[in-house]
Amino acid sequence: MAIATELTDENILRLLNTRAGIEILTELVAIDPFSLSASGRVDYLAALEKQSGWLQALMQNAIVAVAGNEPSKPDSMWSGVDDSEREEIAAALRLSSGTAQSRIDLARTLVNHLPNTCAALANGEISAAHASVIARESAEVIEKGLSTAAIEEIELKAIAHAEF
């Protein structure tokens, strides 16, 4: 049994150090974490978190695909910006309208202005929580029209800090 656990632990390390994607996720799903050593369980958890980041990056693109790159115009004086898109996303993700709008705002910031953060999230270099903080903290300077180069510099420093 020790040999099987050792092989599985080595497999987990390989999966952890491989680029996130559906093939790796499929392999992880097939592993019983209770069959792993204590360190293998920690590596398994880290590998799942890396996959979660990859899925979250896909989710950001999907949200922008539904909501659009920019806020929509109200249909009438009685409707607000992003009303129909927000409600579609809220229903699809089983969220409140307010939470759905927050997710739309976050996704637009990441996809439209912070490509390095999206890439770091997809590669498992940072967590979804890190990406969210980077986007929230960058949103104000993005809205004020800070140059793309300056935003990228801030973004890269934030990513480097988040990796630790």
Instruction: Give the pLDDT score at 76.
Output: 53
Cα separation, 124 vs 58, in Å, equals 12
Average pLDDT, the chain: 90
Res. 71 pLDDT band, cuts 50 70 90: confident
Tokens 């097939």 -> residue: 30
Above pLDDT 90, what percent of the chain? 82
Of residues 88 and 76, more confidently modeled? 88
Confidence of residue 116 (pLDDT cuts 50, 70, 90): very high
7 falls in which pLDDT band (50, 70, 90)?
A: low
pLDDT at 61: 97
Which of 93 and 1 is assigned the larger pLDDT?
A: 93
Question: Residue 1 — pLDDT band, cuts 50, 70, 90?
Answer: very low
What contacts 64, CB < 8 A, 6 or more positions away? 104, 107, 108, 111, 112
Q: pLDDT: is 5 or 148 the higher one?
A: 148
Provide the token pair at 83: 């009303």
